[in-house]
Amino acid sequence: MTTQYAGLFKNQAARYAQFRPTYPEALYTKIFDFARLPQKELAVDVATGTGQAAAVLGETFEKVIAQDSEKEQLKQATPAANVVYQQAPAEAMGVPSGSVDLVTVAQALHWFDLRAFYTEVRRVLRPTGALAIWGYDLCTLAGNEAANAALKDLYDGELGPCWASRRRLVEQEYAGMEPATGFGVVERTQVHMTKEMSIEELTGYVESWSAYASFRSKHPDAADPVEAFRAALLAAYDASSAQHVVEVVWP
């Protein structure tokens, strides 16, 4: 993560670990079908956050090194016997050259110094290795226009000015951010994530957003916008409790 954006998730680590979505099996299937790795000895999960992807990779690879620049995120990371967590920036992984079978980046490429990152990836990958990058945009709430309107109002409204400028790169699906040279075949694909969440869990997910943390930091005495969002969801679903379960879809 570049210095300018360091610390954005420092105070969000517990919510990040509890409420961020896990990635579907179909995603990993697509990665391995594309990469066709001759061996699965070492994977490096860059900007691992609290280890959502690293823990799954640990089921396939002999060893996973999961790195993040934020110490607070790593404190909340998912433990696994063959996953080693380290504090390190994406642009300086500190692993031996030509030793890595797969480098993964989940929902984080927009924070990196791309030139330095791609140079580092080329250094650490084996000749047969691969790089997998993925992300997801604003979710939608299946079959409920009022709930989606409330979500969009929160995202673009009160929290809109608090999004880091690089967030637009996620909204643009990292268009134009592919490595220009040095990686052979480059492929883009789409996998949708779907998860059933209670309204309480959905608001917890919103509270894990960097824009929410920025809003609370800049406006500590302002009304919490998530409380208004929770009330709007209860009304949209005609729900009597925040334990009401809704279907959430990420593109």
The gap between the terminal CA atoms of the chain, to the nearest Å, is: 24
Residue-wise pLDDT for 186-213, tens only, equals: 999 999 999 999 999 999 999 999 999 9
pTM, whole model, 2 decimals? 0.89
Phi, psi (degrees; rounded to nearest 5) at 149: -65, -40
| Token pair recorded at residue 113 | 């110094």
Residue-wise pLDDT for 142-177, tens only, equals: 999 999 999 999 999 999 999 999 999 999 999 999
**Residue-level pLDDT at 205:** 95
Residue 7 has pLDDT above 70, yes or no: no
Q: Does residue 6 come out as left (phi exceeding 0), alpha (psi in the -120 to 50 range) or beta?
A: beta
Name the average pLDDT for the chain: 93
**Residue-level pLDDT at 2:** 44
Question: Which among 111, 142, 133, 141 is positioned nearest to 189, based on CA atoms?
Answer: 133
Burial annotation 214-243 (CB, 10 A radius, 16+ → b, else e)? bbbeeeeeeeebbeebbebbbebbeeeeee
Residue 3 has pLDDT above 50, yes or no: no
- Give the count of domains, the chain: 1
Domain ranges, residue 180: 3-250
**Residue-level pLDDT at 196:** 97
Residue 17 has pLDDT above 90, yes or no: no
Report the DSSP pairing between strands 100-106 and 42-46.
parallel
Percent of the chain with pLDDT over 90: 86
Question: What is the domain-level CATH number for residue 175?
Answer: 3.40.50.150
- Point out the least confidently predicted range of 12-16, 40-44, 94-98, 226-230: 12-16
Q: Is 104 exposed, middle or buried (0-12, 13-18, 19+ CB in 10 A)?
A: buried
Residue-wise pLDDT for 41-63, tens only, equals: 999 999 999 999 999 999 999 99
Structure confidence at residue 11 as a pLDDT band (50, 70, 90): low
